[in-house]
Amino acid sequence: MKIYIDGVFYPESEAKVSVFDHGLLYGDGIFEGIRFYNGRVFRLTEHLERLWDSAKAIALKMPLTFAELEAATLETIRQNGLRDGYIRLVVTRGKGNLGLSPDRCPKACVIIIADKIQLYPEEKYQQGMVMVTCATRRAAPAALLPAVKSLNYLNNVMAKVEATHAGADEGLMLNEQGYVAECTGDNIFVIKKGAVTTPPVYAGALGGITRDVVFEICEELGIPIREREMTRYDVYTADECFLTGTAAEVIAAIELDTRPIGDGKPGAITQRVIEKFRKLTSETGTVIYG
């Protein structure tokens, strides 16, 4: 495997960053997870735009232009000879000192990894996910902006620990007001009487790229979809439920807190969305080998 770090491709065994990098010391940085299928990168422009927005929100100066980063991302895939896989694009504040101030970091560090990924076992895509509600709340916007895809993921990690200890596949996170925000790494959608509902981003959800694609799919399929504040009651009483994320793609959730959702199986509308999503990923995207 070859990994891109600040303009150079290194073998995995030689890919290193400084122990004084503020991404390591303070979680001070941003990232994107990006999928590529059949020799095409899915929604690359949208992912890079979100990365730029995250950088602006945390006052991080990008060391590359948009076009340069796009080219570096594609070249990283080529260097590894892949046609299907996952990109982890990381931008840290860069090397500084042991002090907190980002002013001591003269230049941001860019890391690009291209590899294979499978977030959940294949049987989960057939049978659906089991969820539990986590006691750990989603960080409030006044504390840590949920719209920023930052390296500070401890909030999500601790919720994931709770879900794992409870024997569940995924954890549902609420905001401080008790409304549904998202899962530990995925956006959540419920279906009731043929209509799809998902929490608004201001409730604490990350504005997911796959989430946006679902809105497009529902519009194309003629399925009503809306954003609305949700409680666990809306999930408990839903006919169907599914989760979305770049790594997870689209996957059904069939239980929350021991309560079956619908008939406890992936539903018909969920299956239609998954089918359309997979068609999009196989046929569209930025060409890698052109």
**Domain CATH number, residue 109:** 3.30.470.10
* pLDDT-derived band at 144, boundaries 50, 70, 90: confident
Q: What is the pLDDT of residues 16-60, one digit of tens each?
A: 999 999 999 999 999 999 999 999 999 999 999 999 999 999 999
197 lies in the same domain as 87? no
The 10 Å Cβ neighbour count of residue 6 is 15
151 lies in the same domain as 172? yes
Any domain includes 59: yes
The last residue of one of the domains, among 69, 93, 115, is: 115
Any domain includes 290: no
Would you call 276 helix, strand, or coil by DSSP? helix
Domains of the chain: total: 2
Q: Residue 166 to residues 130, 160, 248, 258: CA-CA distances in angstroms?
A: 10, 10, 20, 11
277 lies in the same domain as 135? yes
50 lies in the same domain as 137? no
Q: Does 154 have pLDDT greater than 90?
A: yes
Length of the chain as a residue count? 290
Q: Does 146 have pLDDT greater than 90?
A: no
129 lies in the same domain as 193? yes
For the question of residue 149 being annotated catalytic, the response is yes
Angle at 61 between CA 65 and CA 47, to 5 degrees: 55
Q: What is the pLDDT of residues 202-215, one digit of tens each?
A: 888 889 999 999 99
Exactly one of 2, 95, 124, 149 is catalytic; name it.
149
The last residue of one of the domains, among 115, 149, 177, is: 115
The last residue of one of the domains, among 115, 141, 170, is: 115
Q: Rounded CA gap, 244 and 125, in Å?
A: 12
What is the domain range of residue 25?
2-115
Q: Which CATH number characterizes residue 248's domain? A: 3.20.10.10
143 lies in the same domain as 84? no
Any domain includes 289: no
Give helix then strand counts, H and E, for the chain.
8, 16
73 lies in the same domain as 131? no
What angle do helix axes 44-57 and 66-79 make, rounded to 10 degrees?
130
92 lies in the same domain as 137? no
23 lies in the same domain as 133? no
Any domain includes 47: yes
- pTM score: 0.95
pLDDT at 142: 82
Q: Rounded CA gap, 276 and 219, in Å?
A: 12
150 lies in the same domain as 264? yes
